[in-house]
Structure 1
């Protein structure tokens, strides 16, 4: 059985324990879905997050001091699940999904499998790319915590914006792969042989994702329970009627009321609501499944208008910015021979299609050389967005005295990497299935090959925080967007300039137009690509890094061929620059 580790703030006393909200939600789901089938390991670890008291009497758990936490489990923010002691699964959505899969692996007919939704895709996308996952895993968690610790006016209650978003969401048409089929079935029950578009409305939005309960409901319910109990008032019904309908529907589901027994009494923040004014903020009238309404959208998803690009490039010209490219790239002189590696450590050993093997090998060689130049025995190297492990496996084989962490949020990709590592007999590796923001382990070198859009900036930010070297080859420049962790532009130089966010994002979209050497937009795309990466270099330089921007050799190995290497100033050694 996989091991579930949860953070608690105290050892249980009389069956009650102090916990953060993420632990509360996890324990709620364990009690609702699994009872005592899942053993919880409660790690006593203090923090500054809001504290909740829950009842764990009768549940299956043991207490562990943080000093005794296994090494791999220490790499990520709790809660985590440890799989085979070498793989850490972190992030609330990923952990709860893994719990269900763990039980289903032993009991294939266990009912909790239905919570994973159609094709088991519920909340599978990461919070950086999915607005819905971010709402469930980040936004509602933050809203609930803020409500608990914040003060409230005695004369006015402003319903939190995320509550208003969920209310509007519940009023929108449901997202469902077979909604028309369901409508047909319901129409037949009503004695009709045909249906029209208006009849689709009969398929009710009973739960967060449609007519059936999913994992999203199980995550959102504890948060909404706390919110509703905190603003306990008869006036909530008229202000958020759809949420209240959903809430009462959830309470009627088998097992929910019993699972609520883990909650201690939640005090109301209202003394007397008779004279309180309730305000619901205006939010976009759309489903939360839709793209973030704050996100810039070009008029065409593929090509940006030329006048927009010209305007953005004019601002760059006014700044007098030059994009200097290092020749040859950092580490190019390091010796490297693919023939010295086992077959299974090479791209073809990873079952890469023949059409991509040579180019993939060239990409990997560039990044590997840069890492080899700075790596020292005892270093920990993190291969961010590691996929099926092409880069990490090469590094782990060539640097047996270093420890390599494979970090990837896609379960299938990480499974393939684990299989390859096992086949090669590599023992100097660990695996983390999570988003970058859940990784908290110490490391010395961070690397990423074609981490898409925001992910590259998350890698660089993580490296700067740890004062680690970064070796990155970015990708998907058009995907850079402000989110709950990263904002753009990255550097103070650009932020203090006249360039607007929209002008900056236009450059990002244009930077993706580099796929065809015969295309008239390609040179312009390369220029824009250099500008975005120059911003990244300036950001790292402002943080006390020596940074180089170069091109992979040969440049034809990929259209996204910029190589960014950053070394903390305190690391500087003359041998790096000979």
Structure 2
């Protein structure tokens, strides 16, 4: 019995080492060609005054969201703040490169939008400068519309009491929810696609959608481990499949560390981020997962961009950054591109 488990542990260590080496090869190759910039472009993310927002926009508002476990709402705030900072960075650079858009209105699609955590905040911040389309499954969109109605009811009550409120306190009439998968969604034109924690292959589908619409993008991928079961040539080779497996931090963590972490955190050991205390570049286990995440994202960018650029002669400025603080989520890569 002990010998069998020893063989399993040895095989796991060998697979992890192979995944790290493959990721390092991809990162080194990228550095040699300077194709994708690896840098933290938005290390400061405190741009949202949550106290001034309608409660329906705040993930810490228990009456409007399901993020009721201790610490989860705060981490969702941090995730939203950071991805919004990155989105604004992309919009600024895209506009500088491409000039003003027609009518000056951004068309932004939030893929895998859930109940609209990111889309509604962008609608609030950008106001009349943007139209936001939130795309997800039927049940999520129902919850999102209910949340949007609650926000507009609150804003309506505020406006009834004070007609002199600023432009940002106007009703959110620039948001639409679309029921269904990305393959059913149609839009004649768009300027930017965004997604916070798009699971597995959804990041690839969203990236492809943006490239085919010649749009900018800002994605935080999630569920890298799902990619080891994908059927596209990008992930079917053993090296890529192995790297996808070890890009999931919960796979890289040892069993003893998992048990100790769960025991320390008690009731806060939620499924979405059970190892939050260990998410640090000083932790070798997280560093290994981070390298594999970067390897996967560099590879998917090169795969999709090479194909699209050959067809449409497009050139993108590409960046891989990180959510801040890192501990807001173990899946903290930010993949960005603009023309």
Tell me the TM-score normalized by structure 2.
Answer: 0.67
* Residues 475/333 of structure 1: CA separation in 2 closer, same or farther (3 Å cut): closer
Pair 1:328-2:41 in alignment = yes
* Residues 321/420 of structure 1: CA separation in 2 closer, same or farther (3 Å cut): same
Summarize the alignment of residues 61-460 of structure 1 with structure 2, pairs less than 5 Å apart. Answer: 305-317=12-24, 320-321=28-29, 325-329=38-42, 332=44, 335-349=47-61, 350-351=64-65, 352-353=67-68, 354-373=70-89, 374=91, 377-401=104-128, 402-409=130-137, 411-425=138-152, 426-441=172-187, 442-460=189-207
Is the CA contact 1:408–1:435 (under 8 Å) kept in the aligned structure 2? yes
287, 299, 317: which one aligns with 1:523 = 287
> Partner residue of 2:211?
464
Q: Deviations over 1:5-54 (max 9, x none)?
A: xxxxxxxxxxxxxxxxxxxxxxxxxxxxxxxxxxxxxxxxxxxxxxxxxx
Is the CA contact 2:228–2:244 (under 8 Å) kept in the aligned structure 1? no
> Partner residue of 1:501?
237
Deviation of the 1:390 alpha carbon:
0.8
> Partner residue of 1:138?
none
In 2, the alpha carbon distance for the partners of 1:513 and 1:537 equals 21
Q: Deviations over 1:530-573 (max 9, x none)?
A: 111121333465432111111111111111111111112xxxxx
**5+ residue gaps, structure 2:** 1-6, 32-36, 93-100, 153-171, 251-273, 310-314
Deviation of the 1:420 alpha carbon:
1.1
Larger Rg: 1
Q: Deviations over 1:109-139 (max 9, x none)?
A: xxxxxxxxxxxxxxxxxxxxxxxxxxxxxxx
In 2, the alpha carbon distance for the partners of 1:304 and 1:347 equals 42
Larger relative CO (CA 8 A, sep 6+): 1 or 2? Answer: 2
**5+ residue gaps, structure 1:** 1-298, 490-499, 569-578
Is the CA contact 2:47–2:81 (under 8 Å) kept in the aligned structure 1? no
Q: Deviations over 1:229-275 (max 9, x none)?
A: xxxxxxxxxxxxxxxxxxxxxxxxxxxxxxxxxxxxxxxxxxxxxxx
In 2, the alpha carbon distance for the partners of 1:318 and 1:345 equals 42
314, 324, 328: which one aligns with 1:557 = 328
* Residues 370/418 of structure 1: CA separation in 2 closer, same or farther (3 Å cut): same
Q: Secondary structure at the match of 2:234?
A: coil
Deviation of the 1:346 alpha carbon:
1.2
> Partner residue of 2:168?
none
In 2, the alpha carbon distance for the partners of 1:529 and 1:443 equals 28
In 2, the alpha carbon distance for the partners of 1:468 and 1:482 equals 28
* Greater helix share, structure number: 2
Q: Secondary structure at the match of 2:173?
A: coil
In 1, the alpha carbon distance for the partners of 2:335 and 2:199 equals 14
In 1, the alpha carbon distance for the partners of 2:11 and 2:241 equals 10
Is the CA contact 1:304–1:509 (under 8 Å) kept in the aligned structure 2? no
In 1, the alpha carbon distance for the partners of 2:45 and 2:114 equals 27
Is the CA contact 2:20–2:291 (under 8 Å) kept in the aligned structure 1? no
Is the CA contact 1:449–1:473 (under 8 Å) kept in the aligned structure 2? yes
* Residues 553/318 of structure 1: CA separation in 2 closer, same or farther (3 Å cut): closer
Is the CA contact 2:23–2:291 (under 8 Å) kept in the aligned structure 1? no
Deviation of the 1:416 alpha carbon:
1.1
Deviation of the 1:335 alpha carbon:
4.3
Is the CA contact 2:111–2:136 (under 8 Å) kept in the aligned structure 1? yes
Is the CA contact 1:454–1:481 (under 8 Å) kept in the aligned structure 2? no
Q: Secondary structure at the match of 2:150?
A: helix
Tell me the TM-score normalized by structure 1.
Answer: 0.41
Count, aligned residues? 255
Q: Secondary structure at the match of 1:305?
A: helix
CA-based RMSD: 2.9
